[in-house]
Chain A
């Protein structure tokens, strides 16, 4: 049968099969598996059937634990059920996995295998997660490529139904889940042929039903639990044969043959590598190359890891095998070896004794670790592993791919070694997230894959920053199947889509001799060569490169495409690479433009087609002179003034050379210095704000809303202006209390992302030109140098004494130094201004527990991090535990620090005689309500510490180590709505109920922003989100109202863009309240589909429409007989429609489902009215005493 060839990624390939074989799909987003759930939801909401003609039910849960529960329940009632997950998600499923396996329930769970959070979180691929689930009793089937992932999704489903052993089908996160590859699409007939309906009926019959009731999940006693546990053995014993049978049946259907343990290599191989996952492909490719060189090497690819079929495993090896290296993509610290290695050792010990297979004596077997967190695994590394095996005493427990100069586990490898055949076109594209490079490359792969006999592969490397993110696309095309599961290091085509990258990244290091370099450059033909950095010129000359240039930005702009240069650069690639005849390629590009965009309207198609037509006339070749002419040097990644660790370690990461760092330079416990973001000058902004002191009214709003803390304000004695650069701006401070002082607003020009939120919020207008304000965007390059000098000078001016500031007044409060700066958050982020505010108000005495999500990524993703410290060395201490436990994690801080403070107090009393009663009493009874009180206490503690330093006793030493806890500390628990409303809600509820003095900040973006906009319980009615493609039908959960029911929790709902002074007041009150507090902060977000420059206007509209109420619930007011709830916003001024249709998340429903949009809009408007009446009633109730009249009337 002829099957369709298509180009898709691993996630889609798996979801394609899993969806068609399921009745119930329970999901929860987690990278890199989220797209499988998203595909399922999309298909389900558009009514696509499974192979039995019914649409699977797709349901999103509040956590992976919840998803596993639903899976278990659905299985127990007889439905064909699946789920998709990874990493921490899989960890949360483990308890149910034991149950599901213990009950012999067939299912397949598809896992995009990913690292687990240990010393640091990583979203990238390895087998740490699946290996942690290997004891659950689930079968484990590993696929190594996109095609295998699709095939094994089917084979595992067939096998689970027959064997009754549930399966984890896993494949490497990102490397396989996100690799785009040309595959043969299985047909629905293939799926039907593989699945035995009788087995489905049997599964259904085992399901719980009151029509044939049974009891399952009993509690068992010591007398029988053990025996009952052994009852499953025959099922596990039979399972491998079942899987192999399914593979054989599959081979007959499709011609693709798989073995549980598949050998590839020389029939007389002496050195064999054992491994599973995508790395097996790289080994396969290397084996072919080395065998071609006459080497006797081979590879055993492990497909079925559980149940481990020891006999078949032994039988896979050639009898000539002398040395084996077992490679694990995981680490088990303190173990005798990693899991696959240990399994192999055990198997050989038992197998040789039993005479299984053809090997008669136990060969040398060593184990090694590779590829953790998508670390590269290349043919060069594979050869090093074979070379190790050739040694008399091969290194055991080795690592490959890194330089372990600490424990000396690593094998050396020759980075120059390559097995890539010349017949493969290897192309590298350096783009910006916003320019559409990745999308165009995915499209090119599709065009080549589906219109030629070539095999095609695309892999995409993304930035860890969310603003100004670089993307690197690795594309391969060739006549043979592509097994290169590693990045391109020898490219014959390199394209630089952003001219700014020339000075930042060494892109030509990967270009082969005679290769082609394509550059998007704004400079004229005669100028372009001289504008290149000298190093780039030297590389082009040395490589004898062909150099082509286009001003793609102009061509795109003239075609109406704005900064999306994707189509233009795609045309250039086809014109230069010759993968397809030029005319044919252009026709295909146009065809695919029509296919992709016709649903979005003729205009979109037309402008893309116009861009295609306009391109070639502007593409030209530049002759390369024989000698370099440029004096432009590539600047160092970080300043030479940066601390050594930043220069030598973080700087390497910034240069994209972090994988060259040796083990010894990295912290052993995941602890990193704070205040490092300031060293990474990213120069993202094309335009930056410039202050106009003559127009400014000194309100401080621009600094308050700045998401990246690049706008700073100082008031200072005029004497500090001495030595100021000529262009440094200052004026008289307007506040009466600052009479005679100077006032400056300064922008950090190289850290600004150019979002423009400051300009949007500025209330002052230039009276002569009303389009100008007191702060205006201006092109950055011409003023970069001058403003950098001004910024450096600004930093030398002392900060204003915090004790002198009125913190409840924004104008003065904004003088407080932010201790959170220059984060990698999206340009115009709606969350970061709130975090910055915490650090300004309380940062020098704050510990932050941060839930996993956007705020943990921009808050803690290497290389550089934004939390910083003041001149005294104080600043927020920050940590991220998990997604689900953040409230508890923060409560732990509180309990611990309170205990230490109490113990210090005890010791103080005990040592009063030695320390001096007066100081002890002063410290114990200090009033630390304001900055002055805290300052004084710090002084006292300093005195105490100096006294203690001279005392030789255990008590003194104990107290010395605890003394700092005598100064008031603030605990902030920060996270998004996914955490607070969903996965962490149970814990959050408990922590709030604990009565302990913790402050919770919920950055409510109303979706899971970090994983790409999935619905949470905070998502408002009518919003389109992933898993709510048809608009969320249910209203938003009212978290604040739930918290208020305790009566003892400070609760505030704020929106900075609506009322900044209210936000400020709420933060101060929450922190001051001696008990738990929660602030729910409206955070506009890129996932709302809004103009991020005017996000604060969206906040205002949300409040003005009544969609987002502002209030403060202060338990202390009850004590005075007042109503604790103060409603701080008025009844709606504008219809909710006016707010909602400012945002694509609501508006797009009017385009995708107009009738439903109308219905949900009406319901949302009703919600607004009902909510207002309810809160109005709550806020109006008279408190204390007998029930009042108003209460009676309700």
Chain B
């Protein structure tokens, strides 16, 4: 049975790639992923904002209250050097590369032009096989237009493309007016892969404390519908590889996402729920299903259910939602 796929030019043994998450902060976990059959790993994101805020915070605390009072002109010893850059992250990439054979994809979230380009270059130098640009921000400025937001994505891509030779993927937000158009422009702008979708942190509020609180929730299988639709729509229309990263919880999900045209199925929440070893089960179940349904390779099914190739392309379009509404019967008040 041939489960291999090609993602951004990288040969993957199976479509099962572990997506960026804190699981990959630990080198042992990365080894476990490979042992469980993962075909690649996207390392947790390096956030330039975090590095900057750490630097500013450290500077603030090292200077706060100093030179004010004769007996305590400082409060901390001044080390000869601080490790305030991405060294820790880059070392992690290096160690991960030494530890596993599968492709190691670095993930970057920059906030400045220098941050995007410098760190991207350093990640390549550290041995990353590819780069995932995690363009993760919530445009809250009421004066910022959609076109400007899109241009930002394109600009970042082009800056990074200029400084690295390894494949570059863009992890997208689903919130574009015309996602297909954005995807095509990114494709034309040199993106080797598009990842659907970034899951944004969604704050909650506490009724007891009247406070906004972080509330990290794992994805549910329903979340797969969104990437599935867009991969289906884009398959065959752009050159870039396509990957899905939300709501892949079962072998069936993987099969579905392959059929609509994905090149990689990225796993995260499912591994939090069932452990890294669960990758093995998923692979086994994929094989079983394929065997039962007489598929001999993943490539055979890839794109078979895309909008282009499916029997009813309009199912992936807006009208399909209206139909669904019609077929949905709300429960009665007393049932």
Contacts and interface: CB of A to CB of B under 8 A. Distances in A.
Contacts of A1151: 54, 58, 82-84
Interface string B204-229: 00000011000000000000000000
Interface string A832-873: 000000000000000000000000010000000000000000
A862 to B, nearest CB: 14
B65 A42 contact: no
Contacts of A770: 210-211
Contact of B61 (A38, A564, A1028, A1144): A1144
Contact of B74 (A603, A1012, A1147): A1012
Contact of A1012 (B58, B71, B83): B71
Contacts of A41: 77
B92 to A, nearest CB: 11
Contact of B83 (A432, A436, A1013, A1154): A1154
Given A46-B79, A1029-B77, A601 B55 contact: yes
B147 to A, nearest CB: 29
Contacts of A602: 114
Nearest to A473: B67
Interface stretch (A67-75, A381-389, A462-470): A462-470
B72 A765 contact: no
B94 to A, nearest CB: 15
B72 A1148 contact: no
B332 interface: no
Interface in B62-86: 62-85
Contacts of B82: 599-600, 1148, 1151-1152
B61 to A, nearest CB: 4
The residue among B55, B67, B80 with the most chain A CB atoms within 10 A of its own CB is B67
Interface string A523-563: 00000000000000000000000000000000000000000
B68 A462 contact: yes
A693 to B, nearest CB: 19
Given A466-B69, A1144-B62, A1087 B54 contact: no
Contacts of B68: 432-434, 462-463, 466, 469, 471
A1059 B275 CA distance: 39
Contacts of A178: 70
A1011 B72 contact: yes
Contact of A1029 (B55, B57, B79, B210): B79
A1152 B79 CA distance: 7
B52 interface: yes
B56 interface: yes
Contacts of A564: 63
A682 to B, nearest CB: 14
B59 interface: yes
B67 A604 contact: no
A973 to B, nearest CB: 22
A433 B59 CA distance: 16
A438 B65 CA distance: 12
A471 B75 CA distance: 17
B88 A1086 contact: no
A193 B160 CA distance: 57
Looking at B58, B73, B74, B80, the one whose CB has the most chain A CB atoms below 10 A away is B73
B76 A1144 contact: yes
Interface in A585-604: 597, 599-604
Interface of B is mostly: loop
A31 B70 contact: yes
Interface string A1142-1156: 001101100111100
A24 to B, nearest CB: 20
B46 to A, nearest CB: 15
Contacts of B69: 433, 462-463, 465-466, 469
A1013 B72 contact: yes
Contacts of B78: 42
Contact of A1148 (B56, B58, B65): B58
Interface centre among B51, B57, B69 (most CB of A within 10 A): B69
B59 A1148 contact: no
Interface residues of B, number: 37
Nearest to A1143: B61
A354 to B, nearest CB: 47
B80 A434 contact: no
Given A1012-B74, A1148-B58, A433 B65 contact: yes
Interface centre among B57, B68, B85, B114 (most CB of A within 10 A): B68
A84 interface: no
Nearest to A1157: B83
Given A41-B77, A174-B70, A1151-B83, A434 B58 contact: no
B58 A600 contact: yes
Interface in A20-34: 31-32, 34
Nearest to A1028: B77
Given A603-B52, A1154-B88, A436 B79 contact: no
B84 A1026 contact: no
A462 B66 CA distance: 11
A1009 to B, nearest CB: 7
A1144 B211 CA distance: 26
A88 to B, nearest CB: 13
Given A433-B67, A462-B69, A1011-B71, A1148 B83 contact: no
B196 to A, nearest CB: 33
A1024 B75 CA distance: 10
Contacts of B71: 31-32, 34, 123, 857, 1010-1012
Nearest to A1086: B65
B76 A597 contact: no
A178 B73 CA distance: 10
Contact of A1152 (B55, B59, B65, B81): B81
A601 B77 CA distance: 18
Nearest to A1008: B72
Contacts of A673: none
A1087 B69 CA distance: 13
A370 to B, nearest CB: 21
B75 A123 contact: no
Interface string A782-794: 0000000000000
A606 to B, nearest CB: 10
Nearest to A1090: B61
A35 B54 CA distance: 27
Contact of A1026 (B66, B77, B80, B81): B77
A1086 B64 contact: yes
Given A436-B67, A600-B84, A770-B210, A1087 B75 contact: yes
Nearest to B77: A1029
Given A433-B67, A439-B67, A1011-B72, A42 B59 contact: no
A1025 interface: yes
Nearest to B209: A765
A1012 B67 CA distance: 11
Given A600-B82, A1151-B54, A765 B77 contact: no
B89 to A, nearest CB: 11
A765 B210 CA distance: 8
A46 B65 CA distance: 25
A600 B59 contact: yes
A259 B78 CA distance: 38
Contacts of B55: 600-601, 603-604
A792 B78 CA distance: 47
Interface in A1016-1040: 1024-1029
A753 to B, nearest CB: 13
Contacts of A662: none
Contact of A826 (B65, B73, B80): B65
| A-B interface, 5 closest residue pairs, ranked by CB to CB distance from nearest | A433-B68, A601-B55, A1012-B72, A1144-B61, A438-B67
Given A41-B77, A469-B68, 13 more contacts: A433-B65, A438-B67, A462-B68, A464-B70, A600-B58, A601-B51, A601-B59, A1013-B74, A1028-B77, A1087-B75, A1087-B76, A1089-B61, A1144-B61
7 contacts: A46-B80, A439-B63, A601-B55, A602-B114, A603-B55, A1028-B77, A1144-B57
